[in-house]
Structure 1
Amino acid sequence: MGDIAERLVRYCAIASPSSPDGAGAVPSTPSQHAMAALLGRELEELGAEDVSVDAHAYVTAHWPASPGCEGLPRLGLCAHLDTAWQAVGDPVRPRVVRYGGGPLVMGEVDGETVAVTPEEEPVLLGLAGTDVVVTDGTSLLGGDDKAGIAEIMAYLERLAADPAIPHPPLAVAFVPDEEVGHGASLLDIDAWGAAWAFTLDTGPLGEVTLETFNACDAFVEARGRAVHTGWAKGVLVNACEALAAFHGLLPAAERPEHTEGREGFYHLVSMEGECERARAHYIVRDHDRAGFERRRDVMAAACDHVNRAMGAGTLSVSFRDTYRNMGEEVGRHPELLEAAFGAFRDVGVEPSAVPMRGGTDGAQLTFRGLPCPNLSAGYHLAHSRREFVPVREMEVMVDVLEHLGRRLGSPPGG
């Protein structure tokens, strides 16, 4: 296997954040095309078949089965090429550091040291003396999900070097705009040809995601009435005040900073406006379907309450579904779960099933008829300037992919 750390550094150096303000375009940012083009070239250089980089920055390819496995169901491997937009991301200056213990220091920004301690991330206690990929502290790294991409590419590199390693036919997809809820929605599943798939897009080594949130966006629009403040009594309606009143009606204890595990939340993503017009964007999450619907009802009731207090038509709320809890479907495919858990155990890692506090491309693919659990990619503290990726975890994940392929690629009677 080549230097997977160098591969991740190369990928992370291409800033490719998606944007919620992309005006409906796919991809939502032009920079994702650069990442897609690089991956297309590298797939061709490795010897992949049917390599395609389309106008929406979807990268797809096929890989032939090992001898004797040609008739087995095709296994899909998927990761997303965009990075989070919530933190600064351009330019990205990734680098490999040898971690010596204590605080893992990314760099210094405006006189402040950007670092993470073992108390915050206990995984560091076992990483002293090993290599870790970080940035200089001025941006996020983008290991979410470029670590997953690097691992899939390194696995293909291994197969190119030794085609006899048992594996079924493979389908590979790198998709744009996962961080803004679009992800694999335009992937042509029939042309891709996978019978089942795995995404590599969750954090610490050994995690297997069988559940995700149910998720939607909520958009709250406020209309006010402006007038000179000297004559405002009984006339002025402040749209910003209406939004503030609405937000105050949502349960404060049910925000992401106060929740964990399977607990859902309301998260205020952004708010902007002035007296006559204001708007807010929320994301709403819950693992439980009934609880998810209740949250939408709570927001609608809060909107009605403000309208009764401030005037009919002051507020309106609309919802846009983004993904569902794939746990409703993934459990129907025990052969996939057995292969995933077994592949981790094959390399000496005890896997753990975790309810993901987010969504994946696998959630979309699963509800489009392609069962797609999610495997660890090895990134930590994603969506922050303190993000880091242990090189050892990436190397182990390539071994996991090999054993996953071996388990799903045994010839009939083999």
Structure 2
Amino acid sequence: MDFNTPINFSVTDRFLRYVQIDTQSDPSSPTIPSTEKQKDLGRLLVQELLEMGITNAHLDEYGYVYATIAANTNKANVPVICFCSHMDTAPDCSGTGVRPIVHKKYNGADIVLPDDPSQVIKMAEHIDLKNQIGNDIITASGNTLLGADNKAGVAEIMDACYQLVSHPEIKHGTIKILFTPDEEIGRGVDKADIAKIGAFACYTMDGESAGNMENETFSADGAKLTIYGVSSHPGFAKGKMESAIKIAGQIVAALPDDLSPEFTEGMQGFVHPVNIEGHVETATIDFIIRDFADEKLPLHANVIRGVADNVIKRFPNAHYSLETYEQYRNMKNVLAQHPQIVEYGMEAIRRAGLEARLCSIRGGTDGSRLSFMGLPSPNIFAGEHAFHSKQEWVSVQDMQKAVETILHLCMIWEEKSL
């Protein structure tokens, strides 16, 4: 990068501050955001943005942070682009009392986390560590997750904002910033104001290995199977009772292994029961259905239906219903209509000195839904690894490369505009 002065990265200091703020979201909460403590980080981000001189930064009632960096180019037709990361951490693992540790100049040895020595980060189990020899690795202390998913992305965007303000020689169009709550519970863009963002393209910073860019996610449906059994007093149930709970158990046990997440990888889809509730008379099984091809989702739902049909035959007075509903769709369907959005992202990664790799996500991001809300949004690496676990880690140098990638993206969109 050819700046008038060298980059003085702030991403590590920002990250170490942000991860100590508990922002865990709560899937059982009906509020938006699901936890008020997510706004604690939002308020800090707004304060820091205002201190940079980004005067319109603000936190709305739903916990979203918005900001705009004005264009500094004479070109009139540079498209507005946005950078987005989520502030919440996953409910899967505690985010309270995070104690980040910087392991300087990683030498390839096992990393034993001091607050729980049974938590050991091993290169054999974390294969990207082989690319981190000599780098500085940040972990939690063993009792909590780290929060690199996605406070690495938040810190990278914040540092990029700081660099854009500090380096006016970086020519760019209007840049929008969006930080979202509740991504980890699937509600990250429920109240995002697309009109307020007003961008042509968005890049979520929420990926894994340095150099990766993701332009494809699962398409996702949900399904609810409701089983209607026959209740009877258990003391007089012979020949009468048909327990919905037992029927549910048999249906789950009969699901095919080759369509379950435990036995699938790559571009394979799956059917996954995520919740069971019920009584003798009525029981429900909630499923998530995933595949990269939209047309395969109803076929996977038919597998559930076929298993239920076979099981229910043994219970002549019981019956069931199956309801399916759309959750999100593969963002590649939208991004294919705007190839330059992905092309510029890949070029930015290369300009940052990395090998650019185009990948698919076995999951979804805020960008999945933003794309179908009119804001095409591929996903760029943030450097996070082993997310949702106590062994989560991130490399300082990878975060710095993510900052460079953001800055190059800003310049590329300006350069290629008339």
TM-score clears 0.5: yes
8 Å CA contact 2:229, 2:317 repeated in 1: no
Which residue in 2 is equivalent to 1:91?
Answer: 97
TM alignment of 1:155-304, pairs within 5 A: 155-304=160-309
8 Å CA contact 2:92, 2:388 repeated in 1: yes
Which residue in 1 is equivalent to 2:414?
Answer: 409
Shift of the 204–412 alpha-carbon distance from structure 1 to 2, 3 Å rule, reads closer
8 Å CA contact 1:362, 1:374 repeated in 2: yes
Distance 1:100 1:139 in 2: 24
More off after superposition, 36-45 vs 142-151: 36-45
1:142 paired with 2:147, answer yes
8 Å CA contact 1:330, 1:372 repeated in 2: yes
TM alignment of 1:48-59, pairs within 5 A: 48-59=54-65
Which residue in 1 is equivalent to 2:39?
Answer: 33
Deviation of 1:88 after TM superposition, in Å, equals 2.9
Choose the corresponding residue for 1:13, options 16, 20, 25.
20
Which residue in 2 is equivalent to 1:359?
Answer: 364
Identity over the aligned pairs, expressed in percent? 34
Letter paired with 2:176: A
Shift of the 97–249 alpha-carbon distance from structure 1 to 2, 3 Å rule, reads same
Shift of the 225–17 alpha-carbon distance from structure 1 to 2, 3 Å rule, reads farther
Which residue in 1 is equivalent to 2:108?
Answer: 101
8 Å CA contact 1:303, 1:317 repeated in 2: no
Which residue in 1 is equivalent to 2:375?
Answer: 370
Choose the corresponding residue for 1:73, options 58, 69, 79.
79
Shift of the 8–250 alpha-carbon distance from structure 1 to 2, 3 Å rule, reads same
More off after superposition, 96-105 vs 225-234: 225-234
- Report the secondary structure of 2:346's partner residue: helix
Deviation of 1:337 after TM superposition, in Å, equals 1.9
8 Å CA contact 2:230, 2:318 repeated in 1: no
8 Å CA contact 1:12, 1:92 repeated in 2: yes
TM alignment of 1:282-361, pairs within 5 A: 282-310=287-315, 314-361=319-366
- Report the secondary structure of 1:155's partner residue: helix
Distance 2:57 2:318 in 1: 52
Distance 1:17 1:190 in 2: 28
8 Å CA contact 1:134, 1:388 repeated in 2: yes
8 Å CA contact 1:135, 1:385 repeated in 2: yes
- Structure 2-normalised TM-score? 0.91
Distance 2:49 2:318 in 1: 54
Deviation of 1:2 after TM superposition, in Å, equals 4.2
Shift of the 279–18 alpha-carbon distance from structure 1 to 2, 3 Å rule, reads farther
Shift of the 126–30 alpha-carbon distance from structure 1 to 2, 3 Å rule, reads same
- Structure 1-normalised TM-score? 0.92
Q: Cα deviations across residues 262-301 of structure 1 (Å, max 9, x unaligned)?
A: 1111223233444345433322110011112211222233
Letter paired with 2:270: F
Deviation of 1:352 after TM superposition, in Å, equals 0.7
8 Å CA contact 2:139, 2:146 repeated in 1: yes
Distance 1:284 1:163 in 2: 47
Deviation of 1:118 after TM superposition, in Å, equals 1.1
Q: Cα deviations across residues 228-274 of structure 1 (Å, max 9, x unaligned)?
A: 43322122232321211221232122221211111111223233444
Shift of the 309–395 alpha-carbon distance from structure 1 to 2, 3 Å rule, reads same
8 Å CA contact 1:214, 1:286 repeated in 2: yes
Distance 2:26 2:410 in 1: 35
Distance 1:209 1:261 in 2: 13
Deviation of 1:226 after TM superposition, in Å, equals 4.4
Unaligned runs of 5+ in 2: 1-7
What RMSD over aligned residues (CA atoms) do the two structures have, in Å? Answer: 2.1
Distance 1:80 1:247 in 2: 34
Deviation of 1:70 after TM superposition, in Å, equals 5.4
More off after superposition, 353-362 vs 301-310: 301-310
Distance 1:328 1:67 in 2: 32
Shift of the 5–105 alpha-carbon distance from structure 1 to 2, 3 Å rule, reads farther
- Report the secondary structure of 1:113's partner residue: coil
Deviation of 1:383 after TM superposition, in Å, equals 1.5
Choose the corresponding residue for 2:156, options 140, 151, 163.
151
Q: Cα deviations across residues 189-209 of structure 1 (Å, max 9, x unaligned)?
A: 122111111111111111111
Letter paired with 2:352: V
8 Å CA contact 1:306, 1:315 repeated in 2: no
Q: Cα deviations across residues 14-56 of structure 1 (Å, max 9, x unaligned)?
A: 2222222123x32222222222222222222222242221111
